[in-house]
Structure 1
Amino acid sequence: MSWVIVTQSILSPVMKNNISMLDSILSSRYKILQRLGGGSFGQTYLALDTQRPHSPKCVVKHLMPLKNDPEFMTTARDLFQREAETLEKLGSHDQVPRLLAYFEVNEEFYLVQDYIPGTLLSQELSAEHPWTEPQAIAFLENILQVLEFIHQLGVIHRDLKPENIIRRQIDGTLILIDFGAVKTMQSALNPSQNSARFGNTITIGTPGYMAPEQAQGRPRPSSDLYSIGVILIQALTGDTPTQFIQDANGDFQWSAKRELHPRLQNMIQQMVRYHFQDRYQHAAEILEDLRLYTHPPPILAAC
């Protein structure tokens, strides 16, 4: 299976400083209201879809090619098309914003996605209010469902952190956002360099949350599971990743800071093992262990 990962080798997040997007209308449809942020994906805006009933809010992501020579633009368009197709597939899951449209204007690219009212997970985490064990279990059961889905599609998120998870206002479901400029691993720019199964890629992610192999440009599905484990340790202990203590093997030493059932503690520890071979490899494996923990099989009496 080919894995899809976040990268910025084609599209630059840098905006032209002399152009203001505010109050402009893109593609005769999307009225820009405010800038939400920017990063490896590009600039992100809140907008109104003026051609839908009641002009609902949406999110517009603006990407600019690094250069505009014809050969480069041909490659950029091809990758943008593939990125959009991947986002279309991801958006079929209830826990990923839908892709509503994608288009090009003046050799610059735009993606339009659902706006999800809610709160960032980062707003829920604090040292004063560490999570309870039931909260930790509910988080895993919720987030692992969508991770299992995206990994089955051959997609790796690569930037899982509290700021990229929204708790949807209407029902409390966790939503993954900011997959970034996803593209196929076998990049059209450097096909001869992608010899390994997971390819050689620019390192994308957030220090503290990304797994060691991801920091070396070799992400895999268990890298996402590592990030979720880090988030969970942060939620349970109140410590940020920069405060975590590691042993000589690179594994986190956190159990003394929070008393948990040994089975749950071992599950979390297995998610964040330094060496990816020692971790859970699939979200389904964690979900199965959670099921056995929360609903253990009955013990039959001896005859």
Structure 2
Amino acid sequence: MIVGLTIKGRYHIISLLGQGGFGETYLAEDRDLPNHPRCVVKRLQPQSNEPFVLETAKRLFKRESEYLYNLGKHDRIPQLLADIEENQEFYLVQELIEGHDLSEEFNPPHQRGAQAVQFSEKEVIQLLYDILEILRSVHQQNIIHRDIKPSNLMRRDSDSRIVLIDFGAVKEIYSQSNYSTGQPQTVPIGTPGYVPSEQEKGHPKLCSDIYAVGMVGIQALTGIFPHELPKDSQTLEVIWRERVSVSPQLAGILDKMVRYQWQQRYQSADQALQAIKPLALSSVSPTVASPAPRLPSLNLSKIPKMLIGLVGLGFVTLTVIFVVQNFPHFLRIQPYPQPTVTPTQEPVL
């Protein structure tokens, strides 16, 4: 534990986030920048001191650094901030993703022990699309993640988008039982249930990641952990369709993603993305525009009557205008003519 330590005089360790067989992850703050922004520090810490194991772990730790550096331009992959060797210790400093991993959505802490959450088909389609969109950039550089699972998929608080984390393939390189024999054996890198057969045999391919993404999708639909799903005894294919009602289109895509034979799967994230894209587009609710006002239809048979009516209306209108304009004249009162009085002569006496 290195809580309280300041690495390179800059990255101050605040608390432990997690640990595995080959390393520890800490929450830290960058004291060289204003407001001391937080970050993640990964420390290489193998459980074995055997020289071969240490050298292999260091090599893979450096490889993770290179992966993150090469993929750092993708906004949904944590950015590498520093690669540090100090006092014979190795550290990777990465961008902190504010959010939560999908394992909290699949099995919320307050519901653990109860039935797992099941996503709607629309939610699963969007989830697959988001993951494959990131993975396409990874595969374009011929990089295999090898450990795609809910806990390595973060839901970012700022925009609810998925972020792919943990490119550390050093977690489970060798089994503990082989350390003492001096004959270390390569073991599956990944998590049981999400690892396809060829990866279990030490021969991962790009489509091995597709298998893992497919199993995440099936888990989201069914609410069942992948390792708990039965397999066909003859074909070794995963049996899952009877557990949930799903459209044939999505079911077909998921089936192809998790084929036992790697040759029968989508061979890259781009291929799988092109397959899911039409479903993703159709699941987006279109913006409903206000309907344009409808014009009344014109009946040609009524044109003569309409013309007559218009002429009559015009005549009435002109008459009204004339009356209004001359109305004061009509109301003007003429003085009644007074009679002319002719004076009479007085009689002469």
Q: TM-score, normalised by structure 1?
A: 0.79
Q: In 1, Cα distance between the equivalents of 2:57 and 2:121?
A: 46
In the TM superposition, what is the alpha-carbon distance from 1:159 to its structure 2 partner?
A: 0.9
Aligned to 1:291: 277
Aligned to 1:140: 128
Residue identity in the other structure for 2:266: Y
| Unaligned runs of at least 5 residues, structure 1 | 1-19, 183-199, 297-303
Aligned to 1:111: 92
Aligned to 2:70: 89
Question: Which of 215, 223, 226 is 1:241 aligned to?
Answer: 226
**Aligned CA distance change for structure 1 residues 120 and 293 (closer, same or farther; 3 Å):** closer
Aligned to 1:28: 9
Aligned to 1:171: 159
Q: Secondary structure at the match of 1:260?
A: coil
Aligned to 1:255: 241
Residue 100 in structure 1 maps to residue 84 in structure 2? no
In the TM superposition, what is the alpha-carbon distance from 1:203 to its structure 2 partner?
A: 2.3
On the 8 A contact 2:146/2:169 being kept in 1, the answer is no
On the 8 A contact 1:210/1:227 being kept in 2, the answer is yes
**Aligned CA distance change for structure 1 residues 208 and 77 (closer, same or farther; 3 Å):** closer
Q: In 1, Cα distance between the equivalents of 2:280 and 2:143?
A: 29
On the 8 A contact 1:41/1:180 being kept in 2, the answer is no
Instruction: Please give the residue correspondences for 1:1-303 in structure 2 after superposition, counting only pairs within 5 Å.
Output: 20-64=1-45, 80-126=61-107, 127-181=115-169, 201-248=186-233, 249-294=235-280
Identity of aligned residues (%): 43
Deviation larger for 282-291 or 228-237? 282-291
**Aligned CA distance change for structure 1 residues 124 and 103 (closer, same or farther; 3 Å):** same
Deviation larger for 76-85 or 57-66? 76-85
Q: In 1, Cα distance between the equivalents of 2:216 and 2:61?
A: 31
Q: In 1, Cα distance between the equivalents of 2:281 and 2:40?
A: 40
Residue identity in the other structure for 1:122: S
Backbone CA RMSD of aligned residues:
2.4
**Aligned CA distance change for structure 1 residues 219 and 128 (closer, same or farther; 3 Å):** closer
Higher relative contact order (CA 8 A, sep 6+): 1
| Structure index of larger Rg | 2
**Aligned CA distance change for structure 1 residues 229 and 77 (closer, same or farther; 3 Å):** closer
**Aligned CA distance change for structure 1 residues 288 and 255 (closer, same or farther; 3 Å):** same
Aligned to 2:174: none
Q: In 2, Cα distance between the equivalents of 1:77 and 1:129?
A: 39
Q: Deviations over 1:224-258 (max 9, x none)?
A: 11011111111101111122011021101111111
Which one has a larger percent strand, Structure 1 or Structure 2? 1
**Aligned CA distance change for structure 1 residues 74 and 267 (closer, same or farther; 3 Å):** closer
**Aligned CA distance change for structure 1 residues 262 and 113 (closer, same or farther; 3 Å):** same
Q: Secondary structure at the match of 1:179?
A: coil
**Aligned CA distance change for structure 1 residues 212 and 81 (closer, same or farther; 3 Å):** closer
Q: Secondary structure at the match of 2:76?
A: coil
Q: TM-score, normalised by structure 2?
A: 0.69
Between the two proteins, the alignment pairs up a number of residues equal to 259
Q: Secondary structure at the match of 1:35?
A: strand
On the 8 A contact 1:41/1:181 being kept in 2, the answer is no
Q: Secondary structure at the match of 1:234?
A: helix
In the TM superposition, what is the alpha-carbon distance from 1:181 to its structure 2 partner?
A: 4.5
In the TM superposition, what is the alpha-carbon distance from 1:178 to its structure 2 partner?
A: 1.1
Moved over 6 A (4+): 71-78
Aligned to 1:191: none
In the TM superposition, what is the alpha-carbon distance from 1:87 to its structure 2 partner?
A: 1.6
Residue identity in the other structure for 1:131: F
Residue identity in the other structure for 1:98: Q
Aligned to 1:188: none
Q: Deviations over 1:72-107 (max 9, x none)?
A: 988876665444222201222111100000110111
Q: In 1, Cα distance between the equivalents of 2:119 and 2:54?
A: 48
Residue identity in the other structure for 1:263: Q
Residue identity in the other structure for 1:276: W
Q: Secondary structure at the match of 2:26?
A: strand
On the 8 A contact 2:126/2:280 being kept in 1, the answer is no
Q: Secondary structure at the match of 1:180?
A: coil
Q: In 2, Cα distance between the equivalents of 1:284 and 1:121?
A: 23
